[in-house]
Chains A and B, each alone.
Chain A
Amino acid sequence: MSISKEDVKYVALLARIHVPEEKLEGFTKTLGDIVHYVEQLQKLDVENVKPTSHAVPLGNVLRADIIKPSLTHQQALSVAIESKDGCFKVPLVIE
């Protein structure tokens, strides 16, 4: 299966990346090459194979619900692009 420019535009939309027209062809080609390469996995019979999401078997990891010191409000906000009244400030969303 090959990848079309429309596929790239759609995936870019999902990924919240703007691909300008002049870059569309390049991404379509390189992504198409890679998708074509991974097609080889279709040759394998995986009918009764269990998927591996983690190499080490994992169970739920729980801890006691105890309040402990962590980053202060101020420390956490120290990285903010913009902040106001102790909150992260973002562009206007609802007009």
Chain B
Amino acid sequence: MKLHALTAHALLDLYRSGKASPKEAYEDVLERIKAVEPKVKAYVHLAQNQPEFKGEFQIPIGLKDNLCTKGEEITCSSKILKGFHSPYDAGVVEKIKKSGGSILGIMNMDEFAFGSSFESSCYGPTFNPWNLACVPGGSSGGSAASVAADEAVWALGSDTGGSIRQPASFCGIVGLKPTYGRVSRYGLIAFASSLDQIGPLTKDVRDCALLMNIIAGYDKRDSTSVNTPVPDHTKALVNDVRGLKIGIPKEAFAEGLDSEVRQAVEKSVELLKTLGAVVKEVSLPHTPYAVATYYIVATAEASSNLARFDGVRYGLRATPKSVRKNALVDMYEETRSLGFGDEAKRRIMLGTYALSSGYYDAYYLRGQKVRTLIKNDLDVVFKDCDVILTPTSPTVAFKVGEKVSDPLSMYLSDIYTIPANLAGIPAISIPCGFSKNGLPIGLQLMGKAFDEEMLLRMAYTYEQNTEWHLKKPTLD
């Protein structure tokens, strides 16, 4: 039996009935990795230690390269952290280990999660299992590609502006960005602290609910973690959307949206209507400003967070060949210049610019104010809607190398995913079709803060009435 091709809940059923053991599942996934990893390149490295094989959820899992895992080299796929072996576990990694999770390895990502085209990892690109000439999306591209290619049963990623949902969409799987504060960020190497959130990438919606049950919850070591009760997310898996209200923002279907993506999403709306959901057009007038707002707020926070990588304590330290300024400043500059790739440098400089004296009011402060306007738009719509539905990405996966010379066009591909991060609300991407060329298309549902259950319910209902999530890429 191809255990690697199964969902986590199917594996758990087999464990319970004694038809397969967690060790068999783990070893089968390792075999699968051996077979397809040379093509997909989703992993940075495999885990140092074998799992202990005890616990309730012994599911083979991949972890993004920004989640601190004790003893593992964790680098954010950046040269500047080469050699950093984490001395501790992130909050979510502790929870995964406690639940019995079999950690397979560390997944490739865009350097410091900067990107959606997957071209900035110091380890080179990961490839889309559906078409190896295409990107898997980013920044959790390794996590998404590994799940789509059955190289991991499920995986964890992080999402700052769409970094779970966009690669989930490009790879034809399910990806959830939880409400800000729902999952502990302790041990997540920070990109933009007010936007980052860890979340699941899974083969179906039931697995998404199961993994949420494992990772969600208050952690006093993350002062932005929110202390509210965590529901049993699997209780939300009800095949019924009758009477639920879906808001469709008219701004989401403006120019720039690929016609195949539009068609697939519109068909999905029709299906949800047939199933009894109430659909109404709504307006989010400030969302066209979301990308601009995000690239000020996120880069400002990133420039501050990444100031800690200076060659003093851990990671890379470069030795300057000649004296430019003085020994210490030269060391900082040389280390950061060698250690960071161009996209990281660009974002650090952009953020520094937005925060610098004379520009702070015009950029950073204004960005924060527009963030309020975007959040208010969403609040107004949620007074009368249970979810907001949009495409996850305006296009399907693009060719490797297509966006590298044009960062702005890459930034614009995050137009649908960014608002949820700015407002701190949960959002899920689920498969909703394929392009003529056989590339997956994703549908995004956004919900009210701490109402992941509503998203899971609607996503589950959609999934139960379609078969997109059952399709697999051919890699053999």
A residues bordering B, Cβ < 8 Å? 3, 7-8, 11-12, 14-20, 23, 26-27, 30-31, 33-35, 37-38, 40-42, 44, 46, 49-56, 58, 61, 63, 71, 75-76, 78-82, 88, 90-93, 95
Cβ of A7: which chain B residues have Cβ within 8 Å of it? 353
Q: Report, as a range, how many residues of chain B touch the other chain.
A: 35 or more
Interface of B is mostly: helix
Query: Whose C-beta in chain A lies nearest to the C-beta of B371?
Result: A52
| In-complex Cβ contact of B194 among A33, A46, A55 (8 A) | A55
Cβ of B423: which chain A residues have Cβ within 8 Å of it? 55
CB–CB B371/A76 < 8 A: no
CB–CB B349/A31 < 8 A: yes
Query: Whose C-beta in chain A lies nearest to the C-beta of B423?
Result: A55
Q: How far is the CA of A17 from the CA of B346 in the complex (A)?
A: 10
CB–CB A52/B375 < 8 A: yes
| In-complex Cβ contact of A56 among B87, B181, B342, B371 (8 A) | B181
- Chain B nearest CB from A9 CB (Å) reads 10
CB–CB A52/B333 < 8 A: no
Q: Which of B92-100, B135-143, B311-319, B392-400 binds A?
A: B311-319
30 of the cross-chain contacts (CB-CB < 8 Å) are A7-B353, A14-B356, A15-B345, A15-B348, A15-B352, A16-B310, A16-B329, A17-B348, A18-B336, A19-B337, A30-B346, A33-B407, A34-B350, A35-B350, A35-B353, A37-B295, A38-B295, A38-B363, A41-B370, A42-B366, A44-B373, A51-B365, A51-B368, A52-B422, A55-B425, A56-B449, A79-B313, A92-B327, A93-B328, A95-B327
Cβ of B223: which chain A residues have Cβ within 8 Å of it? 58, 61
* B367: interface (CB < 8 Å): yes
B residues bordering A, Cβ < 8 Å? 84-88, 179-181, 194, 220, 223-224, 226, 286, 289, 291-293, 295-296, 303, 307, 310-317, 324, 327-329, 331-334, 336-337, 340, 342, 345-346, 348-350, 352-353, 356, 362-363, 365-373, 375, 407-408, 411, 422-425, 449
Q: How far is the CA of A38 from the CA of B411 in the complex (A)?
A: 12
CB–CB A18/B356 < 8 A: no
Cβ of B224: which chain A residues have Cβ within 8 Å of it? 54, 56, 58
Q: How far is the CA of A31 from the CA of B331 in the complex (A)?
A: 25
- Chain A nearest CB from B281 CB (Å) reads 23
Cβ of A88: which chain B residues have Cβ within 8 Å of it? 312-313
Cβ of B408: which chain A residues have Cβ within 8 Å of it? 30, 33-34, 37
- Chain A nearest CB from B465 CB (Å) reads 32
Cβ of A35: which chain B residues have Cβ within 8 Å of it? 350, 353
CB–CB B315/A81 < 8 A: yes
CB–CB B369/A55 < 8 A: no
Q: How far is the CA of A49 from the CA of B296 in the complex (A)?
A: 17
CB–CB B367/A41 < 8 A: yes
Cβ of B373: which chain A residues have Cβ within 8 Å of it? 44, 46, 49
Q: How far is the CA of A16 from the CA of B333 in the complex (A)?
A: 5
